[in-house]
Amino acid sequence: DIQMTQSPSSLSASVGDRVTITCRASQGISNSLAWFQQKPGKAPKSLIFGSSTLQSGVPSKFSGSGSGTDFTLTISSLQPEDFATYYCQQYDSYPFTFGPGTKVDI
Amino acid sequence: QVQLQESGPGLVKPSETLSLTCSGSGGFISNSHWTWIRQPPGKGLEWIGYINYSGNTNYNPSLKGRVTISEDTSKNQISLKLSSVTAADTAVYYCGRGGGPIPHLWGQGALVTVSS
């Protein structure tokens, strides 16, 4: 299985901050990388697929980049509704695997 | 807008089979790919499996052959069955729908507790 790691595991930020989360795959996955946002007690929300393509309706303050083994999710200007846990997931090979998550809080 | 809803028993006894369905509206099943994931209380996300629009499936080997995902076009539902459950299968189960392997729409989730 492809192992996914994320850093940091948690971070504290303020409204208006630019935030970057890193995801690393244990082997190359091309650009088969997705990002999800999850708020407490809620279902995950799909943000990005194909490493950098925003899902429909996702605001442009979110952006993704990377290819191969190293990927980043950037939130350009953090807003109160962005405080959540963010997960990356590879879908290059089965079984698809998630990273452990990065919790973004105040 | 289409919304998804997971449904099924919230309590399952050890060694029995967990059964959930995923329902929605508006030409629900056709031309879509379906994913099931789960989240144990206080933990991260785990991918369970996937059925594509052709009916082909892929499952997480960590579930040791206990999982089946299928579609019932007559009922316009996707189903998940997980056999021989243990307490480790206690989790919130989510279904997701997409045009490919990454869902763009998720259900609200169903908590299933395995306990006698």
Which candidate from B47, B105, B108 shows the least CB-CB separation from A95? B47
Convert the pLDDT of each residue in B30-89 to its tens digit: 778 999 999 999 999 999 999 998 889 999 999 989 999 999 878 788 999 999 999 999
**Residue type at B25?**
S
On the question of pLDDT at B26 being above 80, the answer is no
Query: What is the predicted pLDDT for the residue at B69?
Result: 97
**CB–CB of A104/A14 below 8 Å?**
no
CA distance B82 to A11: 36
pLDDT range class, residue A103, cuts 50, 70, 90: very high
Closest-CA residue of chain A to B5 = A43
Convert the pLDDT of each residue in A75-92 to its tens digit: 999 999 999 999 999 999
* Residue B103 with chain A: CB contacts under 8 Å: 46
Convert the pLDDT of each residue in B4-18 to its tens digit: 999 999 999 999 999
Give strand ranges (E) for B11-75.
11-12, 18-23, 33-39, 46-51, 57-59, 67-72
For the segment B91-106, the average pLDDT, to the nearest whole number, is 93
* Residue B61 with chain A: CB contacts under 8 Å: 1, 95
Q: How far is B42 from chain A (nearest CA, A)?
A: 10
The contacts of residue B72 (CB under 8 Å, 6+ apart) are B78, B79
- Mean pLDDT, chain A, integer: 97
Query: What is the predicted pLDDT for the residue at B3?
Result: 84
Query: What is the predicted pLDDT for the residue at B29?
Result: 66
Query: What is the predicted pLDDT for the residue at B31?
Result: 78
The contacts of residue B67 (CB under 8 Å, 6+ apart) are B48, B49, B59, B60, B80, B81, B82, B83
In chain A, the N- to C-terminal Cα span, in Å, equals 34
Convert the pLDDT of each residue in A36-79 to its tens digit: 999 999 999 999 999 999 999 999 999 999 999 999 999 999 99
